Amino acid sequence: MSHTAPMRRLSIALTVALACLALPAAARAALTPSQFTKIDGIYAAFGAFDDADGATAADRRAARAACRALGTSDAMLSALRRACNTQLDVGQALGRAARCRGRTACIVAVRRVQRAANAYLARSRAADRVVRAARLGAACQRELTRSPRELRYVVRLRDGFAELERALRARSAARARRAQRRLDALRPPDSRSAARQRADYRAACAPPG
Tens digits of residue pLDDT in 124-150: 999 999 999 999 999 999 999 999 999
Q: Which domain holds residue 180?
A: 30-187
Domain for residue 118, yes or no?
yes
Give the confidence band of 29 by pLDDT, cuts at 50, 70, 90. Answer: confident
Overall number of domains in the chain: 1
The residue with greater pLDDT, 113 or 21, is 113
Residue 6 lies in a domain: no
The verdict on residue 17 lying in a domain is: no
Residue 13 lies in a domain: no
Instruction: Return the number of other C-beta atoms located less than 10 Å from residue 95's C-beta.
Output: 15
Q: Does residue 66 sit within a domain?
A: yes
| pTM metric for this prediction | 0.82
Least confident window among 54-58, 110-114, 138-142, 172-176: 54-58
List b or e across 68-82, with b for residues whose CB sees 16 or more CB atoms inside 10 angstroms. Answer: ebbeeebebbebbbb
Give domain status of residue 44, yes or no. Answer: yes
pLDDT at 7 over 90: no
Residue 121 counted as domain residue: yes
